[in-house]
A = this chain, B = another copy of it.
Amino acid sequence: MAASSLSRCCYFGHHGTFARMQMRCSRKASSLWVNGSSPCKMTTKIIRPLTRTMLKPPTSHSLAKRSLHATQLHLQEVMLTSERYGVQRLPFARVSDADLSFFECLMPGRVVTDVDELKLFNVDWLKSVRGCSKVLLKPQTTVEVSEILRYCNERNLAVNPQGGNTGLVGGSVPVFDEIILSTALMNQVISFDTVSGILVCQAGCILENLNNYLEELDFIMPLDLGAKGSCHIGGNVATNAGGLRLLRYGSLRGTVLGLEVVLADGSLLNCLTSLRKDNTGYDLKQLFIGSEGTLGIITAVSILCPRKPKAVNLAFLGCPSFSQVLQTFTTCKGMLGEILSAYEFMDSECMKLVERHLTLTSPVADSPFCVLIETSGSNSTHDEEKLSHFLEHVMASNLVIAGTLASEDTKIKALWALRERITEALTCDGAVYKYDISLPVERLYDLVTDMRERLGRSAKNVVGYGHLGDGNLHLNITAESYSHSLLDAIEPYVYEWTSKYQGSISAEHGLGFKKKHYIHYSKSQEAVLLMQQFKTMLDPKGILNPYKMLPAKTT
């Protein structure tokens, strides 16, 4: 039967061949077909080499880079946030020599005041916001974090917690001269239980390092995102990062089992349990997940990790329209069921930017839309059979017009790069206006076409991609440079549009500095008021990550 033979032929015969060819040349796609030809009649296609430096073990220099692909920052060119946005500094104390002496005494050699060294930590990865902090602290232990906050709270010194500084909404760098508290040296695994799959680690562990550590023990992290080479698990939790595996393993609200948090006054809240279930009182840790460092500093995390799948397959497909992208998704959920682990979509404008700026090539370059489907399972034969039935069906139904498959690790990573490196390609295209929107899936792409029409030639590119399986659109608009007129054409229109369809104006990026004034488009006045009450209760002086996440109280 055709599907079965495709399955075996594609996944084993061809990939076996491919793996050997790979030794000489890394430019071949794993298996490629176009509609009209049988999927069995595979051809190969030259694609340009994909650098995989992102997969190198991150070094200590990776801090403050979103990934090692990041373009060189021209830090001096970035306008100060306070000037660009006209923000008033709140009446916090300023760091004095006596303060520096205290910190130096607490953490000898781990107090950074060098102006050049500080530059990287004052600017976000997008080069969109810049602070002017004069001191960076690098604690190694929870006790040190506690001592720092106790002191800062007493002295009324504002503190900006910082993980890998990979955030996209200006939440991870100071607005003024807040002390930067980096978790970079809090990078130790505390324990891992191979029976339960529960990992306990310090907040500054880099996501990719954790995943590499776990893979050797036959497990994986339950989350994965493009910034994995730099982002810290503490930052992931503080921003409730979503990413590429959410569709399969759920959100951090389910997988994070425990947290250790230092509160604004330096007191320690130990909720670092390693239990799958615990119904003893309110689940306090939830308040800190996604609180963007405004309620406490996460110092350690306990997280449930799934087994490493025995078989991973990837299909990179071309669809003729967004309607077909949706139908392919529904079909996929039904036919791939429990092995579906990612369903991403990208429009052709995304792919053009990836080609132009990163010299990568989409294997389905002519398709208006690309879809990346990943399966992860425990039996490769079963998974390949399911995938091949699915592909046969979507090709026969004309939902998919072309595609390529991969089951070999290098090829899978190369295809994933086409999706993961879009953010990077966008930064090469000029000034980027980024929107991270949740919408009912049926409406997801309408916002992109609407915006493209609205902006016309005033934008360089309007592109849409994202985690379709989670109803999460990344709408990005590029221009030669930032301009108020373009911004005014985009906002608040984009938020009003989202609100009209009961969407979220921030699906996974958070509000940070840049989106905090738009919270009302997704949350009621009562909800915002309650959030402000929580903030006041936990951080009465407001020293933790000020100017971020919540608008100032009106009363």
Contacts and interface: CB of A to CB of B under 8 A. Distances in A.
Interface stretch (A181-189, A312-320, A329-337, A352-360): A329-337
Contacts of A506: 278-280
Given A336-B378, A441-B196, A504-B275, A283 B281 contact: no
B504 A277 contact: yes
A282 B275 contact: no
B284 A290 contact: no
Given A438-B277, A505-B280, A271 B527 contact: yes
Interface stretch (A9-17, A91-99, A400-408, A518-526): A518-526
A266 B277 CA distance: 31
Given A275-B503, A330-B195, A549 B378 contact: no
A239 B382 CA distance: 39
A270 B510 contact: no
Contact of A523 (B277, B281, B330, B528): B281
A504 to B, nearest CB: 4
Interface in A204-250: 239-240, 242, 246, 250
A68 interface: no
Contacts of A279: 239-240, 242, 290, 504, 506-511
Interface stretch (A82-90, A108-116, A481-489, A531-539): A531-539
Contacts of A519: 280-281
A343 to B, nearest CB: 12
Contacts of A335: 378
A534 B533 CA distance: 10
B333 A471 contact: no
Nearest to A330: B195
Contacts of A508: 277, 279
Interface string A245-278: 0100011011100000000000111110111111
Contacts of A376: 338
A457 B509 CA distance: 60
Contact of A549 (B281, B377, B503): B281
Given A196-B440, A253-B254, A270-B524, A281 B338 contact: no
A326 B527 CA distance: 45
Interface residues of A, number: 87
A239 B286 CA distance: 15
A471 B198 CA distance: 12
B386 A385 contact: no
Contacts of A440: 193, 195-196, 274
A269 B523 CA distance: 10
A288 to B, nearest CB: 9
Contact of A268 (B337, B509, B526): B526
Q: Oligomeric state, in number of copies?
A: 2
A530 interface: yes
A307 interface: yes
Given A239-B279, A503-B275, A504-B278, A530 B269 contact: yes
B270 A527 contact: yes
A275 B471 contact: yes
A422 interface: no
Contacts of A382: 379, 382, 385-386
A172 to B, nearest CB: 14
A328 to B, nearest CB: 13
A291 B271 CA distance: 17
B250 A438 contact: no
A470 interface: yes
Interface string A456-480: 0000000000010011100000000
A242 B338 contact: no
A200 to B, nearest CB: 11
A248 B453 CA distance: 44
A502 interface: yes
A310 B281 contact: no
Contact of A528 (B268, B281, B338): B281
A309 interface: yes
Nearest to A467: B277
Given A378-B336, A504-B279, A284 B330 contact: no
Contacts of A267: 526
A339 interface: yes
Contact of A337 (B310, B509, B528, B534): B310
Contacts of A289: 283, 286
Interface of A: 193, 195-196, 239-240, 242, 246, 250-251, 253-255, 267-271, 273-284, 286-287, 289-291, 295, 307, 309-310, 326, 330, 333-339, 376-379, 382, 385-386, 438, 440-442, 467, 470-472, 502-511, 515, 519, 522-524, 526-528, 530-531, 533-534, 537, 549-550
15 contacts: A196-B471, A242-B279, A250-B250, A250-B254, A250-B255, A251-B254, A269-B524, A269-B530, A273-B502, A276-B470, A278-B506, A279-B511, A281-B528, A307-B333, A378-B386
Given A195-B442, A246-B277, A278-B504, 10 more contacts: A250-B250, A250-B255, A254-B254, A268-B526, A277-B507, A278-B507, A281-B519, A286-B287, A286-B289, A335-B378
